[in-house]
Amino acid sequence: MPVEPDATYTHTENITWRDVNDEVVVLDLKSGEYYTMNQTGQCIWRALMEGKTVDQVKDLVLERFQVEKDKALTDVEEFISGMMDKGLLYRTEKL
């Protein structure tokens, strides 16, 4: 499923997450699997949970990390796709 620039995402029902020791920990309550992520992943996750769109998340990654624009977009898209494949994220419907 393509990741659209104006789309927003949130975590699925069986997920809980917390900031622990300045680190994002995502827990799948159903399977009992823990996920931790690198700095970029944490930045993307927090922004998505704040309700930011893919475009806004990409801008945030560009602002915080010294990366090319294309690379930032690819990172965000890959992160979202990967999380969706694992059943951790889903796209929220527009109101």
Residue 55 three-state SS: helix
Q: In the window 34-63, what residues touch another protein (CB under 8 A)?
A: 34, 36
Scanning 21-29, 39-47, 50-58, 80-88 for contacts with another protein by CB under 8 A, the matching segment is 21-29
The sign of the dihedral angle between the CA atoms of 22, 28, 34, 37 is: negative
Give the residue, chosen from 29, 50, 51, 74, that forms a contact with another protein under the rule CB under 8 A. Answer: 29
Whole-angstrom CA distances from 63 to 23, 66, 71 are 20, 7, 13
* Residue 39 Cβ vs another protein, minimum distance, rounded to whole Å: 13
Nearer of residues 20 and 95 to another protein, judged by Cβ: 20
Q: How far is the CB of 28 from another protein (least distance, A)?
A: 9
Distance CA 32, CA 6 (A): 32
Quick one: angle between helices 54-64 and 69-85, nearest 10? 120
Q: How far is the CB of 25 from another protein (least distance, A)?
A: 5
> Is residue 69 a contact point for another protein (CB under 8 A)?
no
